[in-house]
Amino acid sequence: MKIKIILDSCAGLDEKQAEEYGWTLLPLQANINGKNYFIGKELNCLQFAEIWNQNPKLCNASTSACSPGMVMEMVEKFSKEYDKIIIYSISVKLSSQIQLLKNLFAGNDKVFIVESKKLSYLIIYDLVQFENKIKAGTSFEEACKVFDYIPQKTLLIPEFNDALVKGGRLSKSAAAIAKLLKIVPIIEFDKEGALVKYGIGRIFKKTLLNQIKKLKEMYEPLSDNSYLFLLHAAQEKIDDIANEIKTTLNIDNVYSMLLAPDIAIHTGVGAIAFGIHNLSAETKDQMLKFFKKH
């Protein structure tokens, strides 16, 4: 069985990176100050941060689902060559993208749309696992069960509140108090694929280190196969932060990667998401392909 994988840009890969896996990128869309971009094709996180940082208070940025015409053209093209087409998109709790895809391909037996509860590197992990199972001779139906895998805890801490205010997730008055008291929200990416309030802390880096310490304690003892992943929205001090984590928390395997603009637009520049995960020998090299080792 020949299988084609299409994943959308919320996974954090750009067009060329997706191709290196043998996958095809389906860009979600961003509108920044009135200009439309295909994410992962015309816009990456660093480029978004450059625009945002020119004037965070006045920058207007939003995201939307993929171009229906683009994905229909992809499926029509790949249907001629492949027996199955998997489309793995942003969590159903965070976007209307999944419903759009279901409507477009209702009745098309070749298209399998993952009922996604994931985003970012968690999608990459699932797809690497899926391909490994297919290569090992597992049936398509059985291999698809990896998409139901419930990951370990993933948290996110915004450095600034501008994007949260613009997105209506935080009132201006609450943001003003938070800034005065140096309060930062802690957000969890929960098992249902939603971003929910987890708690609050004081001072961004202090809160980040404290939460990573708690996460480490939750999964101790860590092994040589345990990895701390830092997903950041163009955080300028990511190298310093990663090195401090290694030295103060004694975590050897610290890897970082840029968040997708699809996510960074809503969390704000500087935000960091993190999780600790174990990688098997057959998964490690594929999973870490575009992560930076610290």
273, two tokens? 């998401």
Q: Give the pLDDT of residue 151.
A: 79
Strand residues in the chain grouped as ranges (E): 3-8, 24-26, 29-32, 35-38, 61-64, 84-88, 111-113, 154-157, 183-189, 195-202, 226-232, 254-258, 272-278, 292-293
Domains and CATH numbers, the chain: 3-28+65-148 (3.40.50.10440), 154-293 (3.30.1180.10)
Distance (Å, whole) CA 158 – CA 125? 24
Q: Give the pLDDT of residue 179.
A: 58
Sign (positive or negative) of CA dihedral 119, 260, 127, 254:
negative
Distance (Å, whole) CA 293 – CA 150? 25
260, 39 contact by CB (below 8 A) = yes
The answer, as to whether pTM is greater than 0.85, is yes
Q: Give the pLDDT of residue 173.
A: 46
Distance (Å, whole) CA 123 – CA 229? 14
Q: Give the pLDDT of residue 177.
A: 47
Residue pLDDT, tens place only, 49-102: 999 999 888 889 999 999 999 999 999 999 999 999 999 999 999 899 999 999
Q: Which residues of the chain have pLDDT under 70?
A: 161-182
